[in-house]
Structure 1
Amino acid sequence: MRAAYIERLGPSEAIVYGELPPPVCGPDDVLVEVLATAVDPVDTFVRSGRYPTAMEFPFVIGRDLVGKVVESRSPEFSPGDQVWCNSLGHQGRQGAASELAAVSVDRLYHLPDGVSPTEAVALVHPAATAYLAAFTHGDLRSGDTALIAGAAGNVGSALVTMIARAGGTAIATAHPDDHDYCRRMGAAHTIDYRTRNIVGEVSEIAANGVDLYIDTSGRNNMVDAVEMLAVRGRVVIMAGTGSRTELSTGALYLKDGSIRGFVISRATTAQLRDAAAVVNRLLLDGALRPRAVEILPLAAAAEAHRRIETERLRGTRLVLEI
């Protein structure tokens, strides 16, 4: 089968496009013909070694896929079913960037009828990340106010949509060119992320502070974040592998606040399945749509990784068609 894989950790140039033997399915695996796979920033962390994880070389890269079932021992899936997965390519699992993939049945989900495979594969990872960040780790409830920094990105816009639909108030920080987009996604308020007085602007919107603060950009200014928190407010850190920041521990303590780290690579299968159910509902009713998708051939996997690491894609998702 054709695949994009690596034989060692390294830069994007380490990715090889070539032939590999097809995967051998275990008793709890489903064999899937891959139609498309998205390229996520976390894929570059795995490939380079920035996110240490078990892998066996040659290692097929990629995390997300949409495809069709070829073989299944599970009564839940039948040949021809359209399916998706967003948790391959780490913790000893081979990845998705290949013509065929063996997917554990507890990590595979049906794709709702009528949903575009290309749009779905562009959305499932950022949308599931957003759900787990806001609701599983951020404990967001109806009536809460949340500040989403980097709200025009893929995860950020999914956060805004989910929070608004759950009865929360989303404050979005983004470039002014993206404010209309954020409002269309459900943001109640928008702020220029370049402002020098974000604490003051937020206090005018939410006098008692925000219940949830999530920075998808990875800047993680904890001094401002803690100052903006309401009593018992939560900060969820979900980006910024190289960021270092000061922390106002006294202010956090006096507010009875909390800071939680979250990486989707450590999500349990039960958490991923909960997220998948929500993502499927939002895909089906059209609430989640990718802002922009650029389709590349599987042979361009190395180019896609390079672009993720060196370009500002401004919400554009790179999808590899098989």
Structure 2
Amino acid sequence: MRAMTIPKPGGPEALVWSEVPDPRPGPDEVVVDVRASAVNRADLLQRQGHYPPPPGAPAYPGLECSGVVSEVGSQVTGWAVGQAVCALLAGGGYAERVAVPAGQLLPVPAGVDLVDAAALPEVACTVWSNVVQLARLAKGETLLVHGGGSGIGTFAIQLGVALGATVVVTARAGKHARLRELGAAHTVDYREQDFVAEVHRVTDGRGADVILDIMGAAYLPRNVAALATGGRLVVIGMQGGRKGELDLGMLLMKRASVHATALRSRPLDEKAAIVRGVREQVWPLIEAGTVRPVVHARARMADAADAHRLVETNDHVGKVLLTT
């Protein structure tokens, strides 16, 4: 088969579409003939040499895919050759075929195109596990989402609204109209506005109950300042650095909490539990049309370098997909 290899870390030109050995399924795995994958920030970091795949994962980038089951391991039940699926991966999505632990498979939701389904697994599992499972976002609460125009952001807006929350997002001004269409009640231009002041303004001084943050260190003090009493800050990215100052006094005064999580490195049983939760609680929302994949562009997988350049500009809204 062909897969996207990285002979030497570097810029987008480091991606090389190469002939590689076909995957073989383990007893608890299936092989998926890939129809599409999606570009995630982790792929850019891996290409640069900063985010190697966990032990045992394929060396190729790609944290999600959609396609058709072509082989089934000897101990797998509930899945059959020919089924249309999408999958959460630890790597290997930028390829024509990939072996997937059966616990990380999802059926393609009714009403969703097979290619567009590749936009769902990583964002659905990330947002649900952090906003719902960990932070326990409830009806009537306020959710602040940083990076509202990203794949994570566009999904978090829709899921937050579906759960009955008021969603505030930070994003470039040019993306605000689209994010309001997705359900964001308030949009903040992070380059021109103070998101702490804006959050307190739109909540009558109360603050955000849950904050989903991709920035890390650069936003840490302000995120704590933006939290409501009993608020929950969940950090899922470090685009703004890894070391920041935490005001424990303010955290204690607000009886608030800070969590930091990662998905790719979790054990298989934890990933399987998240996938089950997503299938039970999120897939019905997608099939009802309440939550939908947001796809900015499609590119051929052989042209993944161009897709990486697009994502690096931050000009996109939603996901950029790669098709075989």
The interval holding the TM-score normalised by the smaller chain is 0.7 to 0.9
* 1:60 paired residue number: 60
8 A contact 1:131–1:275 mirrored in 2 = yes
Listed as ranges, the gaps of 5+ residues in structure 2 are: none
CA distances 1:265-290 after superposition (whole Å, capped 9, x unpaired): 14422123312444422332223334
Name the structure 2 match of 1:251: 250
- Could you tell me which residue of structure 1 aligns to residue 305 of structure 2? 302
Deviation sequence 1:83-123 (CA, Å, 0-9, x none): 1112231xxxxx12222211111111111233201221123
Task: State whether residues 221 and 246 of structure 1, in contact with CA within 8 Å, keep that contact through their aligned partners in structure 2.
Answer: no
Give 1:218 shift.
Answer: 5.3
Q: Does residue 28 of the first structure (1) align with residue 31 of the second (2)?
A: no
Equivalent residue number for residue 113 of structure 2: 116
Which letter does structure 2 place at the counterpart of 1:160? I
Q: Which amino acid aligns with 1:157?
A: T
- Give, in angstroms, the shift of residue 68 of structure 1: 0.6
The answer on whether the counterparts of 1:149 and 1:193 sit within 8 Å (CA) in structure 2 is: no
| Distance in 1 of aligned mates of 2:257 and 2:18 | 47
Aligned AA for 2:179? C
Shift of residue 228 of structure 1? 1.9
Q: 1:7 to 1:175 in 2, by over 3 A?
A: closer
The question of 1:5 aligning with 2:5 is answered: yes
**Whole-Å Cα distance in 2 between the matches of residues 25 and 187 of structure 1?**
42
Q: 1:212 to 1:60 in 2, by over 3 A?
A: same
Are the counterparts in 1 of residues 168 and 186 from structure 2 also a CA contact under 8 Å?
yes
1:1-322 matches, within 5 Å, as 1-7=1-7, 9-54=9-54, 59-72=59-72, 73=74, 74-89=76-91, 95-206=92-203, 207-216=205-214, 220-241=218-239, 243=241, 244-267=243-266, 268-269=270-271, 270-309=273-312, 311-322=313-324
Which letter does structure 2 place at the counterpart of 1:39?
A: V
Q: How far 1:17 moved relative to its partner?
A: 1.1
Aligned residue-pair number: 316
Structure 1: 5+ residue runs without aligned partners?
90-94
Residue 147 of structure 1: SS of its match in structure 2?
Answer: strand
Amino acid at match of 2:87: C
Distance change (3 Å), C-alpha of 1:298 and 1:6 = same
**Quick one: structure 1 residues 253 and 321, their matched pair in 2 at CA, closer, same or farther if it must change by over 3 Å?**
same
2:146 and 2:169 in contact (8 A); partners too: yes
* 1:123 to 1:25, Cα distance in 2 relative to 1, 3 A: closer
Contact (CA 8 Å) 1:124, 1:279: kept in 2 or not? no
> CA offset at residue 39 of structure 1?
1.5
Give the superposition deviation at 1:164. Answer: 1.4
* C-alpha deviation, 1:203, in angstroms: 2.0
- Identity percentage over the alignment? 32
**Normalized against structure 1, the TM-score is what?**
0.88
Paired with 1:204 and 1:57, the residues of 2 have a C-alpha distance of 46
1:178-208: CA deviation from partner (whole Å, max 9, x where unpaired): 3332222222333333344433332232222
Contact 1:37 1:62 in 2 (8 A): yes
Instruction: Determine helix, strand or coil for the equivalent of 1:66.
Output: strand
Q: Take 1:56 and 1:218, find their aligned partners in 2: how far apart are those partners?
A: 28
**Residues 69 and 78, structure 1, Cα contact 8 Å, conserved in 2:** yes
Aligned counterparts of 1:17 and 1:133: Cα–Cα separation in 2: 34
For residues 70 and 157 of structure 1, what CA distance do their matches in structure 2 show?
Answer: 32
Once the two structures are TM-superposed, the CA of residue 29 in structure 1 deviates from its matched residue by 1.2
Give me the whole-angstrom Cα distance separating, in 2, the residues matched to 1:22 and 1:197: 51
SS of aligned partner of 2:167: strand
Deviating beyond 6 angstroms after TM superposition, the runs of 4 or more aligned structure 1 residues are none
Task: Name the counterpart of 1:92.
Answer: none
AA of the residue aligned to 1:249: L
SS in structure 2 at match of 1:35: strand
Q: In structure 1, how many angstroms separate the alpha carbons of the residues matched to 2:182 and 2:176?
A: 10
Amino acid at match of 1:315: V
Aligned AA for 2:315? L
- Give the Å deviation of 1:220: 4.1
TM-score (norm 2): 0.87
- Considering only aligned residues, what root-mean-square deviation do their CA atoms show, in Å? 2.5
Letter in 2 for 1:2: R
